[in-house]
């Protein structure tokens, strides 16, 4: 198997919480290197212990400053803290992760691990990359994981669903209450933080949010709690820490494993696997190349796509596959079927 086992020493190192190994294992999985699925299957049973907090909100609201405050506070309480910063816009977040105003060395000294996830590496989607990274950190013994993301799109909302508690950060002078409602953040917030409470308009923002929260009482969930902070001075941060501590009992890693969330993840993972299976392993891509070579100078994309998706065409490809297609030899096979279930998949679709 050679190459596909590369993750094993990385996982062993990660379990000893060697930061270098943790970083390389996250990259290995993020880059979808051969064997990444096996790596995650080895990681998953080791997860479920960490408390995961999501921090989101509009640009410049003070998310990074607040993340730094929380990370330091929880590390000071003996927790092993990791920060995952999700930045879909920037191809390279590197040093900017926690804002240059935060003294990174202080965080590193406190043993806080920092990692950014950029869209660049997110082959299976940003939210999947984040989930994978959080699980690796959880398995590696980090018991308090903060995910910071800019809360604008569906992607970010999906990311934040990974968290047990979601903190939405607002600041005066940004029309945040309106934005928060629009972005659907109202539905996911467990805590609303009015940051920059030292600025004009903070009281008004707090009042607006209070009325929004009370109007949203019909929602089938506990109303979000409001907290006001000045992240730059640390004022109010203790209240937020206390609130999160109350809600995140140590060691109770009961993340959202509700049916719908897991089902959506399984479907997404399976679709990615099918994609690879069909295009690369079964040679559909080569088939397409040949097909295009034969085609004239005006290709009908609908017709070709229909042809490629045709079950008889797929069956023919399967029958002429070098392995007879009963799966990659590297995969354990049960009754001639592969563990990824290619045979089953095609048998089933053939019946439809």
Of 69 and 345, CB closest to ligand GTP: 69
172 binds, among ligand GTP, Mg ion, none (CB under 5 to 8 A by kind): none
Distance (Å, whole) CA 90 – CA 284: 33
Among ligand GTP, Mg ion, none, the one that 62 touches (CB under a kind-dependent 5 to 8 A) is ligand GTP
What are the structure tokens assigned to 90, written together? 């920037």
Provide, rounded to whole angstroms, the least separation between the CB of residue 102 and ligand GTP. 8
- Partner that binds at residue 61, options ligand GTP, Mg ion, none, CB closer than 5 to 8 Å by kind: ligand GTP
Judged by CB, which is closer to ligand GTP: 198, or 281?
A: 198
Nearer to ligand GTP (CB atom), residue 112 or residue 277: 112
DSSP 3: G
Q: How far is the CB of 99 from Mg ion (least distance, A)?
A: 5
Does residue 64 bind Mg ion (CB under 5 A)?
yes
Taking alpha carbons only, the member of 251, 219, 248, 228 closest to residue 48 is 251
CA neighbor of 77 nearest in space, from 53, 112, 52? 112
Contacting Mg ion within 177-216 (CB under 5 A) = none
Which does residue 164 touch among ligand GTP, Mg ion, none (CB within 5 to 8 A, set by kind)? Answer: none
Least Å distance between CB 130 and ligand GTP?
16
Looking at the Cβ atoms of 6 and 119, the one nearer to ligand GTP is 119
DSSP structural state of residue 97: T
SS (H, E, C) 147-194: EEECCCCHHHHHHHCCCCEEEEEECCCCCHHHHHHHCCHHHHCCEEEE
CB of 283 to Mg ion, least distance (A): 44
Q: Choosing among ligand GTP, Mg ion, none, which partner's interface includes residue 316 (Cβ < 5 to 8 Å by kind)?
A: none
List contacts with ligand GTP (CB under 6 A). Answer: 59-65, 99, 101, 150, 195-196, 198-199, 230-232
d(CA 9, CA 292): 43
d(CA 293, CA 306): 17
| 74 SS3 class | helix
Closest approach, Cβ 57 to ligand GTP, in A, equals 6
Name which of 67 and 128 has its Cβ closer to ligand GTP.
67
Give the one entry of Mg ion, ligand GTP, none that residue 199 binds, where binding means its C-beta sits below a cut-off of 5 to 8 angstroms depending on kind.
ligand GTP
Which listed option, Mg ion, ligand GTP, none, makes contact with residue 59 (CB within 5 to 8 Å by class)?
A: ligand GTP
DSSP lists the bridge partners of residue 149 as 86
Quote the radius of gyration of the chain (alpha carbons, Å): 24
Nearest-angstrom CA–CA distance, 105 and 108 = 5
Cα–Cα distances in angstroms (integers) from residue 300 to residues 275, 290, 317, in the given order: 22, 15, 21
Name the residue nearer to ligand GTP (CB basis): 195 or 338.
195
The nearer residue to Mg ion, 91 or 322, going by C-beta atoms, is 91
Identify what 232 binds: Mg ion, ligand GTP, none; CB under 5 to 8 Å per kind: ligand GTP
Q: Which is nearer to ligand GTP, 127 or 228 (CB)?
A: 228
DSSP string, 216-256: GGGSSSPPPEEEE-BTTTTBTHHHHHHHHHHHS-TT-----
Report the nearest approach of ligand GTP to the CB of residue 236 (Å).
9
Which residues are near Mg ion by CB under 5 A? 63-64
């Amino acid at each position: 198997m050679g190459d596909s086992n590369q993750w094993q020493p990385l996982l062993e190192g990660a379990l000893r919480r060697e930061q270098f190994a943790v970083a390389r294992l996250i990259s290995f999985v993020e880059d979808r290197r051969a064997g990444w699925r096996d790596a995650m299957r080895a990681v998953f049973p080791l997860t479920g212990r960490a408390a995961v907090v999501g921090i989101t909100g509009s640009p410049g609201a003070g998310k990074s400053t607040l993340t730094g405050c929380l990370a330091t506070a929880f590390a000071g309480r003996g927790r092993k803290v990791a920060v995952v910063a999700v930045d879909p816009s920037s191809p390279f977040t590197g040093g900017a992760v926690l804002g240059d105003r935060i003294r990174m060395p202080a965080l590193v000294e406190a043993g806080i691990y920092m990692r950014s996830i950029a869209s660049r590496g997110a082959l299976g989607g940003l939210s999947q990359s984040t989930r994978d990274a959080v699980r690796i950190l959880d398995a590696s013994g980090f018991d308090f994981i903060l995910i910071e993301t800019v809360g604008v799109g569906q992607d970010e909302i999906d990311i934040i669903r990974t968290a047990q508690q979601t903190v939405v950060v607002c600041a005066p002078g940004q029309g945040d209450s309106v934005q928060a409602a629009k972005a659907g953040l109202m539905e996911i917030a467990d805590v609303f933080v009015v940051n920059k409470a030292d600025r004009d308009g903070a009281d008004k923002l707090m009042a607006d949010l209070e009325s929004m929260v009370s109007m949203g009482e019909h929602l089938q969930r506990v109303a979000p709690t409001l907290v006001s902070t000045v992240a730059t001075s640390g004022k109010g941060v203790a209240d937020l820490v206390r609130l999160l501590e109350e809600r995140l009992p140590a060691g109770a890693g009961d993340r959202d494993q509700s049916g719908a969330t897991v089902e959506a993840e399984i479907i997404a993972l399976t679709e990615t696997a099918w994609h690879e299976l069909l295009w690369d392993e079964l040679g559909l891509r080569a088939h397409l190349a040949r097909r295009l070579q034969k085609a004239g100078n005006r290709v009908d994309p609908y017709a070709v796509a229909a042809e490629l998706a045709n079950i008889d065409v797929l069956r023919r490809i399967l029958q002429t596959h070098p392995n007879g297609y009963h799966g990659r030899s590297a995969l354990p096979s049960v009754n001639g079927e592969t563990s990824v279930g290619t045979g089953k998949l095609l048998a089933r679709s053939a019946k439809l």
